Structure 1
Amino acid sequence: MLGDYKTDPEGILTSVSLIDTEAETIQIVDIGSQYTFRNLARGDDDTALVLGTDGALRVIDPTTGEIVRTAPVIDAWEVPEEWQQAQPAIKVMDGMAYITEPATNELHVVDYTTGEVWKSVELPQTPNEMVVVSG
């Protein structure tokens, strides 16, 4: 499992937790940037994906906790004061990460195995919530 890991009384998140339910262990990984709950995803290959406020996507090996790749995707952004406000979000399907950038009304499709931004599209509205479906 991938989860956030809050130790800061102000709620600032900079570490994630990798939880092995079989071994009943938890590994903490400092990603070196802030993030929010909308910035966590699991890759199709079980990797942990975290989008930081620096605009970079981190790919974490769930076994070792090592950040194996960091790829710039969007411009740096700030965590909004109210969690309901639009903020970048990440979802994964079929080997691609879909990342919203509310500041520019864009959606970026990223091959997280290479870090390449495959495609970016402008959206007619500011994205806030997102679900990715096939078909």
Structure 2
Amino acid sequence: MEGDLKPWEPYSLDGAEEPETLDTMKDFFARCRAIRGKATNVTYTHDPLQRSWCSSFRRWNGARREGLFFTSWIEDREGNRSNHAIGEWRISYVHLVEGCTKCSETRDRPSRTEWEHQLELWPRSEVERQAICRYDRS
């Protein structure tokens, strides 16, 4: 059973059907992990990394067999994640503008400069921009 979960070595293209380059496949792998809120830039033991790598190849192969583009699946999932994250942005923005009596006891209110810096790192989606505009108008 364990062999079924991890038949290929990490960063090997042996299990992929019609793979892209290794660098491209690593990028897809990192994006799949990010969708689940997991990083690839921290130290993992060999087994979990191998299982995760093989799992992403199963998705890749399944999409190929169904005539789908794996990149479309990733982009759809990333879009869904961004849309669901709007609640976190709303809370952060309201905290920036109004402050929060409960939060102010445990954490500092972000400055406008800190907020703008975060937006440079993680730009808002159109849905997020619209929600903030609605808040500002109210």
The TM-score bracket by the shorter chain reads: under 0.3
Q: Give me the TM-score of the superposition, normalised by structure 2.
A: 0.23
Q: Give me the TM-score of the superposition, normalised by structure 1.
A: 0.23
Which fold has the larger relative contact order, with Cα–Cα distance below 8 Å and residues 6 or more apart in sequence? 2
User: Rg bigger for which structure?
Assistant: 2
More helix by share: 2
